[in-house]
Copies of this chain bind each other. A is one copy, B any other.
């Protein structure tokens, strides 16, 4: 882009910035709880979210909008699945202690559910560390899942759903078992890093002697307000990511993403299955390829995510289109073709990833990529067939390594006074 010549004439005035920025950039919200609900709508809190009112400092002004947004914990589905992607995320798997059984697991899930509801409403648990004080809930979500090994650990082997059968091995996998699987899983998201850390730490402490962290990964997405592109983000390859996601307004969205009411097993009604993959991007290799090759690999334009057969990101992908020489515009192994629902028997999953960057490797390449999280009613009709196809012929696979993998059953949301998984742990 060309810069505005006027910019160059302006002198730095950072000393003024420091003083004036907070007062100018943050909007005051009303402070009473009832009024905050109305204010939330007025200033743009999402429908169904609650503007938060009472978590400011002892004598400070009310919260600004990023902090004020709350997502409800209780409901048909758990939060963090269709909730808009937050700027910060933690994925953490826990293994139950050898001495912990069904009773201890149930007590832990009750503690986690109670804390999650409180934290997501902007509350302060009794034993609070104070890290999240002053901020509001900042769209915090906590999502709780069960790995296949959980059922053996709590003596409920017979209750393990077939959908939790181990994922098939893919030829491109280079999985680190220490960062894969796990009895229990937490997905935490928030639009403030301190709020996200605080939730993770609070829930880890609440695990007490019952469960210990097996692995934990930290990720990020674009900040609220940093971009005008609302539905999609960029990944660390620079690609627009998420364009083809099923959308809640689609007729078959619920059926694809959530186990139906009265589903099998019954305790998964309203639940979903999450596939988690830590996918390292070989950025040194990817970035060495010219733009035209990158676009052939993806089947989309880098600039705006439009398919090579269209002009805008949301234009449908025309897999039949041919160029002047008669060859397909979207190559046979282009990522967008291999992953297209129409080439996978309609398989679709809701992708809701975070990017990650854990420093640099010894060879100087970033240890960075995607914390891929996808949601579906049945992994055998979502992730598995798509990944099988990717494994056989995806041009993108040259540039990525799957380094960790996990699959979790995420029950439906808890009702008030209940905890996530209660029907599983207390039924039968």
Contact = CB atoms under 8 A, between A and B. Distances in A.
Interface stretch (A72-80, A105-113, A329-337, A400-408): A72-80
Given A14-B48, A50-B10, A58-B304, A67 B227 contact: yes
Given A10-B50, A129-B237, 13 more contacts: A1-B54, A13-B48, A19-B247, A21-B44, A66-B223, A129-B287, A134-B227, A191-B223, A193-B222, A194-B221, A194-B222, A201-B283, A225-B225
A275 interface: no
A354 B191 CA distance: 17
Contacts of A197: 236, 355, 357, 368
Contacts of A69: 25
Contacts of A205: 287
B228 A54 contact: no
Contacts of A360: 204, 213, 216
A229 B57 contact: yes
A224 interface: yes
Interface stretch (A116-124, A156-164, A317-325, A385-393): A116-124
Interface residues of A, number: 134
A61 interface: yes
A84 B230 contact: no
Interface string A212-244: 110011101111111111110111111100000
A279 interface: no
A313 B33 CA distance: 25
Interface of A: 1-4, 6-8, 10-26, 28, 33-34, 37, 43-50, 53-67, 69-72, 74-77, 79, 81-84, 87-88, 121-124, 128-136, 138, 191-195, 197, 201, 204-205, 212-213, 216-218, 220-231, 233-239, 247-249, 253, 283, 287, 302-304, 312-313, 355, 357-360, 364, 366, 368, 413, 416
A47 B77 contact: no
Contacts of A364: 204, 212-213
A403 to B, nearest CB: 15
Nearest to A66: B225
24 contacts: A6-B37, A10-B72, A12-B74, A14-B71, A14-B75, A14-B82, A15-B248, A18-B82, A19-B247, A21-B84, A22-B230, A24-B45, A25-B46, A26-B44, A56-B228, A58-B303, A64-B227, A66-B223, A130-B234, A133-B238, A134-B234, A194-B236, A197-B355, A213-B360
A359 B217 CA distance: 7
Contacts of A235: 131
B234 A194 contact: yes
Contacts of A81: 14
Contact of A227 (B121, B135, B213, B249): B135
A130 B26 CA distance: 29
Nearest to A118: B3
Contacts of A233: 194
B192 A26 contact: no
Contact of A304 (B1, B57, B224): B57
A146 to B, nearest CB: 21
A130 B12 CA distance: 28
Given A45-B25, A59-B304, A229-B134, A218 B4 contact: no
Contacts of A7: 33, 50, 70, 72, 121
Contacts of A77: 12, 14
